[in-house]
Amino acid sequence: MRQLVRITTACAAFALGATLSTTAGAESRALAVAKAALPAGLLAVAGFDVGELRASKLPEILLPQLLAKAGLGAHDAKSVRGVCAIDPINQIDSAVAGMDAHAKGVVIVAFKGTTRGDVDACFRKLAQGSGKTVTLTAKGDLTVFAGIAPTNVYVRWLAMDVLAIADSPGDKALLTAMTSGGLAGDKAMAPLLAGSTTDSAFWALVAKSGPLPELGATLVRAYASADAKAGNLATEVHLVLDSAKAASAAVAKAKQLLASTKKAGKVPPDLAGALAAVTLGSVGAELVGRATMPAATFAKALGGVLPR
């Protein structure tokens, strides 16, 4: 159960700091490219419309966490804005993230009005004024940035305005594997993606099935969404179980588990605020968890499950 929560929320954090709005109801540029680029066998796929999330300030709150994970600092984002006239958030159209069962994956980012040439030119400008030994090497659709982080940073360009970067930016093998294609033939994820609504501010699909011992039930699949409402984030997580009876029983067990965890003081500090807002119920064969919380609380919870 905790692994499922970690994967769903980490998938969200993985791309959230680098996305912007797309037209509701339409397939985003990033999703169109991701369908051809992502591999088969993924456990989770998530997408974002930060046009809705912007009012909650969530992208700005999460950006420092994501920069730190990439080995960068907040000053790097400011330098890009000042030297290159490129806003790391506002010139990005959309993004999709894919993760495997080991919480390793890739984020695919589609730019708006910014191309590979613009990014390369920006890097060279930053390099000239940095006083550091930094280099950019382009090899086909792969670009290697050296000197901007503790290790080389590998980026694969799937189109002139769409890039892919692994959650471990220095892992070239992971980036290659996660953009090798095959999603269209995935018997588990492809139908789930085709039959789902992908126009929420955030959406995630988890193609995981099997027993949930803590709840005494069998998971068929899971999906989640979040939308900005009055400055807060209204989130829902749905676990599709094997029957309506199982879902009803699982709600009771989940409530007991949550209560005992809180009583024992075993709730991680980063998750405490988010868990306090959770309500549980069932609809048919689905266990449904809902919570409405400030963006800062949501961001803190995401930070608590980010792979370190």
State yes or no: pLDDT of 128 exceeds 80: no
Residue 98 contacts residue 45 (beta carbons within 8 Å): yes
Q: Is the pLDDT of residue 101 over 80?
A: yes
| Residues in contact with 267: Cβ distance below 8 Å, sequence separation at least 6, in sequence order | 261, 275
Alpha carbons 56 and 20: distance in angstroms, whole number: 13
Percent of the chain scoring above 70 in pLDDT: 76
What is the model's pTM? Answer: 0.77
Contact status, residue 241 vs residue 248, Cβ threshold 8 Å: no
- Whether residue 23 is predicted with pLDDT greater than 60 in this model: the reply is no
Contacts of 289 (CB under 8 A, 6+ apart): 236, 237, 238, 239, 254, 278, 279, 280
Distance CA 14, CA 106 (A): 8
Number of alpha helices (DSSP H) and beta strands (DSSP E) in the chain: 11, 13
The total of other beta-carbon atoms located within 10 Å of residue 18's CB is 24
Rounded mean pLDDT, 80-89: 74
pLDDT > 50? residue 17: no
Report residue 289's pLDDT band, with 50, 70 and 90 as the boundaries. very high
pLDDT tens digits for range 230-272: 767 788 999 999 999 999 999 999 999 888 888 888 777 767 7
Mean of the per-residue pLDDT values for the chain? 80
